[in-house]
Amino acid sequence: MKVQTLSLAFASVLLLQAAPVAASGDTLLVERVQAEPAFTLPTRGTTMAQVEARFGAPARKHAPVAGPNSTRFNPPITRWDYADFSVYFEHSHVVDAVLRKASPEEVGPRPVQ
C-alpha cells in the first residue's frame, strides 16, 4: 500500500511539473530593443557634428575619459546622454549607441554612477 501511495504521489508531482505554466516575467532590455526596430540610433563611425545635427544637442555631455599611458592604445571615450539613449565616442566618432531603460523595473545593464 505504501508503494502505491508513493507511486501516485510521484506521478502527480511529475504531471504538475509537465503542466504548462503561464509565463510571467520581466521584459528584458534586449527584447524591447528587438521589438522597436523603428527607433534609429547613431551609427558607428558617425562624427559628433553629424550626431548633433541629426539628433540635436544632448541633455548632458560627459568629459572624455582615457585609460592610462598612451592615447593610441587607450583613446579618450566621451559619452553624450539623450532622453532615450546614450552615445559613446572614441575621439570624435561614434563607437556605440545604447537605449536607456523604459522603466526602472526593466531588466538590463546597471547604470553607471
- Note the pLDDT tens digit of each residue in 54-112: 999 999 999 999 888 877 788 999 999 998 899 999 999 999 999 887 666 766 666 55
The pLDDT value recorded for residue 107 is 67
DSSP letter assigned to residue 52: H
Is the model more confident about 91 or about 37? 91
Asked if residues 29 and 107 have their Cβ atoms less than 8 Å apart, the reply is yes
Mean pLDDT of 16-34: 57
Angle at 110 between CA 109 and CA 112, to 5 degrees: 120
Query: Under 8 Å CB-to-CB from 54, ≥6 apart: which residues?
Result: 42
The answer on pLDDT for 26 being more than 70 is: no
